[in-house]
Structure 1
Amino acid sequence: MGLLRFGLPAALVAVGLVTAPYIQRFNPANRPVDAWALALIVVAGAATAFRARWPLPTLVVVVLSTTTYLTVGYPYGPIMFSVAVAVFEVARRRSLPTASLWCGGALAVLLVHLLTNSAALDGYLGLAPGSAWVAIPFTLGVARRLVVEAGTRERLEAERRLVDAERLRLAQEVHDVVGHGLAAIQMQADIALHLQRTKPDQAAVALEAISRASADALAELRTTLAEISPDAPDRAPTPGLAHLDALVARVEAAGLTVGVVRRGTPSPVPSAVDVAAYRVLQEALTNVVKHSAHPKASVVVEHGPASLTLVVSNQNLTGAPPSEGIGITGMRRRVEHLGGTLTAAQHDRTFEVRAILPLTPSS
């Protein structure tokens, strides 16, 4: 950037100083190039060094120097490149209304020489050179600014989508953990209240289950929140299918009977698939605890050569399919994010959640 900032002004000054004496030969009617002409070329070229920081003052200095140069009768030459550079920077770095106003004014001032320079082109032909040196760089500068602004908007939008996606992922994780824990605690609390009235001596068992369920939920919640700070010292292992038995034990402690069937040959699965599978099973069983009047569910985990299939079903005594809430929506989002499919449907009087996760996730 430093080389471009000072290299371009140096080049404009050098080209102007070298070529100005020779341009005089093409039109002897112009005023001979002298020390004042060279000084104006230097001022116009050197001013462009400040074009990025002060584009409007730079435009003023360059246009006034160039107009003075042309008005007193010096020949057209590379000094016009300084005008083009200054106009380009204003159009690039200022809004369209502001740039149009300043560059339009610059053009009006620049064309003053048509009234005083006898060597200038006559009539409308005289407008063409000055107008071109402003209109063309102005158009290029506006186009450049629009491209940069579009790129900035796209980058900000991409960053916003990433932030929103991360928030959604963390919200889903917290929902799964807290929802599962609270469902188990609520059921155990109901059992404790019932036992307190009928068998007070056994209420302690339910209270112990509540304590275990809350401790497990808090531990898993800390694991989820620790993902925000990867260097957290108490970060726990990410849950997966290896924790299925512990999940089933917690659900059964809440009063639900769960039958687990494993099919196929278990093999290592990608971490993302492992976590998604655990969360799907957790949420499906939590929904049974919260919504089903029949406290029994069956779980099938089938390992295939290219996919992992999960099925959670329970008897729906009402026969009416439950409405999809944040739980089923979240499960489907998890599975589809990895290129899989999830269905939650009523079959006769059995409600079934079926998820198929590819072992080579697409995302």
Structure 2
Amino acid sequence: MDVEQVRAGGGPGQWWGHGPPWMRRWAGEEPDGRRRPWRSTLLLTVFVLAGSTFAAHVQEGERADLDPFARVLLLIACGLLLWRHRYPVAVVFGTAVTAALYLGAGYAYGPVFFTVAVACFAAVVAGHREAAWTALGLLCAVHLLVAHWLYRWLPPSGDAPASFGQELVVTGWVVAIVAVAELARVRREQWARERAERAQAARRRADEERLRIARELHDVLAHSLSVIHVQAGVGLALLDADPEQARTALTTIKSASKEALGEVRQVLDSLRTPGDAPRAPVPGLDRLPELVEQAARAGLTVQVEGQAPRLPPGTDLAAFRIVQEALTNVVRHSGSRHARVRLDRAGGTLRLRIDDDGPATGADAGGSGNGLAGMRERAAALGGTIEAGPRPDGGFRVLAVLPAGATEETGENQ
């Protein structure tokens, strides 16, 4: 999923997450203030004019004939719909008043009421429910007054009160408008919630990926730069007194920097081509001898106890990075030149214990202080735990408990 899809909250073509295009147009989301719904309004205008002409022909003798004033009212009611997205409240009241004038003038019952329905629908979907129902209620009140009381003084002459069947038809139309508009409003709110949830999930995934990359870079760079820092100090101190030892320190710096560049390049490649298989194997406990060798070049003797079990890739990487960070902290912060790494597997649990004899030196070697936090994040992401702190007899201990999966196969004794 690329950046544009994350921002949109879904993949290509997934319009149903935001509502179909016609619903976004009804809701006023697609028109950007410079475009108006010309096509739909033009089609509705043709329908209203043609339907009203047909209704006048069918109701000839019962209602007044369509004259220029009636057609002007029809055009006004339809024309107002061009602004139904920008000014939904004004449009719904405007169409209701226009339809009331049309009804009071005694013209034929017909599609003019569709303009009120469309305006009411747009207002409800846009969130102006009270205005829509008020306008619709006023129109219904005018209809009742005209149909059962004012008809005596309004055209056409000799008109009779409306029948009970006609009132049922009007009531049915009102109920239909209310039901459809409310259904559209509820569905739109549901789409909005789903879109917000997808956006939040995308942000959460992005944050998790950012933290993962930050942990990887921190662990790679902190370990390698700590070795480089120590060896650079050795090289500077022995440059004149023992050139051969200084050469060995420079060789160690070259090796550590080359390895760090390779691992950083692997992390950056995963950013450039997300989803592709890594070019180099993901580090795991099978590379524990390399850590021991690197620590030895930095002047730290590491004793490994136990066997490295075969683990799921995620757990294997986390275990390797925890040991790497713990040894890096010994190089940085401990006066001890000896550390012990113990691996114990019991059932589906792997216990990693890294000890040094101290004492703490107080030197940070340029560290950021995020090592322990990164280890805890790695363990928590797998459902494991990390305990780190001074030992009662001196020194420092890191104890990690990680889920090891169901496999019982183990690697070579380290």
Identify whether the pair has TM-score above 0.5, normalized to the shorter chain: yes
Shift of 1:139: 6.0
Q: Distance in 2 between matches of 1:41 and 1:76?
A: 13
**Is 1:281 aligned with 2:310?**
no
Alignment of 1:110-125 (within 5 A): 111=139, 114=142, 118-120=146-148
Q: What is the aligned-residue identity percentage?
A: 33
Shift of 1:132: 7.9
Q: Distance in 1 between matches of 2:346 and 2:117?
A: 68
Is residue 120–residue 136 contact of structure 2 (8 Å, CA) maintained in 1?
Answer: no
Alignment of 1:158-307 (within 5 A): 158-230=201-273, 235-263=279-307, 266-267=309-310, 269-307=311-349
**Is 1:351 aligned with 2:396?**
yes
CA RMSD, 1 decimal: 5.0
**Counterpart in the other structure of 2:122:** 89
State the Cα deviation string for residues 14-53 of structure 1 (Å, max 9, x = none). xx88x979x98xxx9x7379899x9999989999998998
**Counterpart in the other structure of 1:157:** 200
Is residue 71–residue 113 contact of structure 1 (8 Å, CA) maintained in 2?
Answer: no
Is residue 44–residue 79 contact of structure 1 (8 Å, CA) maintained in 2?
Answer: no
Q: Distance in 2 between matches of 1:246 and 1:319?
A: 25
| Counterpart residue identity of residue 203, structure 2 | R
Q: Distance in 2 between matches of 1:144 and 1:360?
A: 44
Instruction: Tell me the TM-score normalised to structure 2 length.
Output: 0.65
Instruction: Tell me the TM-score normalised to structure 1 length.
Output: 0.73
Distance 1:344 1:2, change over 3 A: closer
Tell me which moved more, 154-163 or 177-186: 154-163
State the Cα deviation string for residues 217-242 of structure 1 (Å, max 9, x = none). 11111112222133779832211112
Distance 1:48 1:176, change over 3 A: farther
Q: List gaps (5 residues or longer) in structure 2.
A: 1-19, 26-39, 151-166, 407-414
Q: Distance in 1 between matches of 2:277 and 2:404?
A: 31
Distance 1:120 1:331, change over 3 A: farther
Shift of 1:201: 3.5
Alignment of 1:7-22 (within 5 A): none
Distance 1:245 1:40, change over 3 A: farther
| Counterpart residue identity of residue 318, structure 2 | A
Distance 1:247 1:52, change over 3 A: farther
How many residue pairs were aligned? Answer: 342
Tell me which moved more, 285-294 or 75-84: 75-84
State the Cα deviation string for residues 142-175 of structure 1 (Å, max 9, x = none). 5555444333322222211111111111111111
Distance 1:3 1:135, change over 3 A: closer
Q: List gaps (5 residues or longer) in structure 1.
A: none
Q: Distance in 2 between matches of 1:151 and 1:33?
A: 51
Tell me which moved more, 341-350 or 213-222: 341-350
Q: 1:313 aligns with which of 351, 355, 367?
A: 355
Query: 3-state SS of the aligned residue for 2:271?
Result: coil
Q: Distance in 2 between matches of 1:246 and 1:334?
A: 21
Q: Distance in 2 between matches of 1:285 and 1:249?
A: 12
